[in-house]
Amino acid sequence: MNVLWIMLLAGLLLVLAGRFYAPVIARVLGERADRPTPAVLLNDGRDYVPTQTPVVFAHHYASIAGAGPIIGPILAIYYGWGPALLWIVLGGIFLGAVHDYVATHIAVREGGKNLAVVTRRYVGRAAFVMMLVLLVALLVLVCAAFLDLSALALTSMVSLDTLKLPADQKLFRIQDGEAVIGGIASTSVVLITAFSPLIGFLYLKRRTPVWVCSLLAIVICILSIVVGLVLPMSVTPLTWKLLISGYVLISAGLPVWLFLQSRDFINVHILYLGIVFLVVALLAAAVRGGGEFGQGTTIPPSNWTEGSARLGPGWPFLFVMIACGAVSGFHSLCAGGTTCKQLRNELAARRVGYYAMLLESFLAVCVVCCVLVGLSRINYEELRFLYGGGGNPVLTFAMAVGHTSHVGLGLPIWAGALGAMLLLEGFLVTTLDTAIRLTRYMIEEGWTTFFGRYDVFAEAARQVPDTIASDDRATTELIGTGGLTAERPEIAEPVHPAAAISTSGAGRWALQLLRQYWVNSGIAVGLMLLLALTGGYNTVWKIFGASNQLLAALALVVATCWLLARSRPVWLILLPALFMLVTAISALVWELYWKYLPGWPETAPLVVTAIVVLVVTAGILVCVILRWARLARPAAATA
């Protein structure tokens, strides 16, 4: 079979889904393009900033993509490229894109607030507390892991012979006789970050057309790569982690357009160009006959039995390994965190939420095809199971792209590998930047809910208008540290009491401190560094995949509750939720029974973490069932 047909078929299915299936979900949600969004109603210039849809799309896509659509397929293709591609395409259309769009739309309807707040309103306070703990823990894990992966990309080394470069080459820095191929990408990231405020000022303050800003962004990207070739960064992994931590600490509290949004907008052009480069290289390889593959020494279409024996049962683990690219709970956090605060209308929620996921799925398809064309099965397995089985998926991707571009376009292997590193390093930092701000939002929502009855938070809430119209209803509920109003159906529980409790002295000072964004950003960065520098996240990272997919299921369950409150059809949302619930819980239970419990006490942290996640999930589901059982009884009596 030829990769040309795989790419054409996958691309066609994804385009058709955006054209025909996305409008179906829009009708289920009750999309209205004329409804004012939180970004418009509460334009504070920092977190809520109405922005052109292409700019928001760039930010959202760069944030959700991360390393997921690259790392996941690299690891899971060991089960065979057939199952991996089927899950990427079908999962992306019917689960991932639906999940992302629904999460974005509901967050917009709920005043630009996150999944935990929506859970509090439609499921209850107990479920909110459990969801908040789960979300903060997962976000801190993501931050620590991506910080570590970023350092890994910076210091990844490969032999000159593999890159087909002479010993006297001057392109890459040499360390221990091998070429360090990440320093150029890191220089590029630094320069792109430095130019970000300029781009943000142009498209937001000066109203410069987006296409003009795009051209300037491409120039900045090219310039950053050229400078990187001349002056590649040469720092230790620890120094790089501290530099990135300092940057995200500052960025998480600054206006979103100053660094986060604008840097993503610039950097996404590398990502766009990278996808175009992958497509051109693969198509060229197909035309030149290098895109043919079959059994032989290449990765087989199905390696289900061998993969299951070595990595665990194909179901559920293939569906857990490939998260980004198919469906990922982290996306709902991006949708309900930064993205929903920037959209100018509800139609943009569909264009950003659904279509960005489709593009991510297509990127994952390209990654699979690059591995098939660029690496033999032996090469793949050597890299996939490098370092005692853990492997180096970053280097695997770089070498797959390097060989694919060599086969298709005749480029030197080092050129393709360098392009892959630029693509991956940009994804990592953009996601890390967003994740820290999301953690800050989550922490703020926790303080608002736990201490909302005190005057410090109540006074902040009274600084905004009392009501806004929504679905022919009005509400007086005030949410978040900004206090933006949002629609509140009858089932929602009040957050603040009628009379606020007065505070004074040290207590008032402490509560005022908790309202400072730099304090909450500092907590987020501190937790990230604690796990990253001590290696603590490595201890429990093994269950992140299943927990992330469990989060996607819970997000869809909460979305189902939101739809039921409006008497809207739920099956297109509920069925994916049930599938992901069964899949993720099965993966956690299997790992707990077959891997973690037998290794006790060495695996005690994994055992405890897995049990806590399962108990929290069960608790949230019980809250959902009890809530809707209480609502169903009066309805049945009335009928």
pLDDT band at 470 (very low <50, low <70, confident <90, very high): very low
Asked whether residue 35 is domain-assigned, the answer is yes
- Averaged pLDDT score across all residues of the chain: 84
Report, as an integer, the average pLDDT of 71-94. 93
Sign for the pseudo-dihedral over CA of 483, 485, 487, 492:
positive
Burial of 189 (0-12, 13-18, 19+ CB in 10 A): buried
Maximum CA pair distance of the chain?
84
Report, as an integer, the average pLDDT of 358-387. 85
Which range, 161-175, 187-201, 409-423, 476-490, has the best average confidence (pLDDT)? 187-201
Asked whether residue 481 is domain-assigned, the answer is no
Q: Is the pLDDT of residue 460 over 80?
A: no
Q: Which residue has the tokens 């937001």?
A: 204
Name the amino acid, one letter, at 100. D
Q: How far apart are the first and last CA of the chain?
A: 59
Exposure string (b/e) for 134-173, b if CB count within 10 Å is 16 or more? bbbbbbbbbbbbbbbbbbbbbbbbbebebbebeeeeebbb
CA 494, CA 491: separation in Å to the nearest integer?
10
More confident residue, 624 or 159: 624
Per-residue pLDDT tens over the stretch 516-565? 888 999 999 999 998 888 877 777 778 888 999 999 999 999 999 999 98
Number of domains composing the chain: 1
Regarding beta strands 173-175 and 178-180, do their DSSP bridges make them parallel or antiparallel, or are they unpaired?
A: antiparallel
Sign for the pseudo-dihedral over CA of 582, 584, 588, 591:
positive
Asked whether residue 466 is domain-assigned, the answer is no
Q: Is the pLDDT of residue 78 over 80?
A: yes
pLDDT band at 154 (very low <50, low <70, confident <90, very high): low
pLDDT band at 638 (very low <50, low <70, confident <90, very high): low
CA 628, CA 196: separation in Å to the nearest integer?
47
Q: Is the pLDDT of residue 636 over 80?
A: no
Range of the domain at 634: 3-452+518-638
More confident residue, 484 or 298: 298
178 phi and psi, to 5 degrees? Answer: -125, 160
Per-residue pLDDT tens over the stretch 225-259? 888 878 777 777 788 888 889 998 988 888 999 99
Q: Residue 215 to residues 208, 220, 261, 265, 527: CA-CA distances in angstroms?
A: 12, 9, 17, 11, 38
158 phi and psi, to 5 degrees? Answer: -145, 150
Regarding beta strands 157-159 and 178-180, do their DSSP bridges make them parallel or antiparallel, or are they unpaired?
A: antiparallel
pLDDT band at 635 (very low <50, low <70, confident <90, very high): low
Asked whether residue 283 is domain-assigned, the answer is yes
For residue 514, the SS3 value is: helix
Report, as an integer, the average pLDDT of 607-630. 91
pLDDT band at 364 (very low <50, low <70, confident <90, very high): very high
Asked whether residue 416 is domain-assigned, the answer is yes
Per-residue pLDDT tens over the stretch 106-126? 999 999 988 999 999 999 989
CA 434, CA 428: separation in Å to the nearest integer?
10
What contacts 24+ positions apart, CB below 8 Å, involve 383-392? 384/74, 384/75, 384/78, 391/75, 392/152, 392/156
> Which residues, other chains included, contact 468 with Cβ-Cβ below 8 Å and sequence gap of 6+?
36, 41, 474, 475, 485, 486
**Residue 505 DSSP label:** H
Candidates 544, 540, 539, 537; CA nearest to 587 is 544
Burial of 600 (0-12, 13-18, 19+ CB in 10 A): exposed
Candidates 566, 583, 454; CA nearest to 109 is 566
CA 630, CA 490: separation in Å to the nearest integer?
13
User: pTM for this structure?
Assistant: 0.88
> Which residues, other chains included, contact 381 with Cβ-Cβ below 8 Å and sequence gap of 6+?
78
What is the torsion angle, in degrees rounded to the nearest 10, for the CA atoms of residue 309, residue 314, residue 319 and residue 321?
20
> Which residues, other chains included, contact 137 with Cβ-Cβ below 8 Å and sequence gap of 6+?
none
Q: Residue 31 to residues 68, 73, 461, 566: CA-CA distances in angstroms?
A: 29, 33, 28, 13
Label residue 573 left, alpha or beta by phi (over 0 means left) and psi (-120 to 50 means alpha): alpha
Q: Say if residues 393 and 368 touch (Cβ distance below 8 Å).
A: no
Number of Cβ within a 10 Å radius of residue 618: 12
pLDDT band at 99 (very low <50, low <70, confident <90, very high): very high
User: Looking at residue 368, which CATH number applies to its domain?
Assistant: 1.20.1740.10
Asked whether residue 465 is domain-assigned, the answer is no
CA 168, CA 224: separation in Å to the nearest integer?
25
Q: Residue 319 to residues 37, 43, 142, 557, 596: CA-CA distances in angstroms?
A: 34, 39, 19, 19, 20
Per-residue pLDDT tens over the stretch 260-316? 999 999 988 988 988 999 999 999 988 887 655 443 457 888 999 999 998 899 999
Q: What is the pLDDT of residue 171?
A: 65
Q: Say if residues 291 and 2 touch (Cβ distance below 8 Å).
A: yes
Q: Is the pLDDT of residue 384 over 80?
A: no
**Residue 23 DSSP label:** H
Asked whether residue 487 is domain-assigned, the answer is no
Asked whether residue 470 is domain-assigned, the answer is no
Q: What is the pLDDT of residue 294?
A: 42
Name the amino acid, one letter, at 598. P
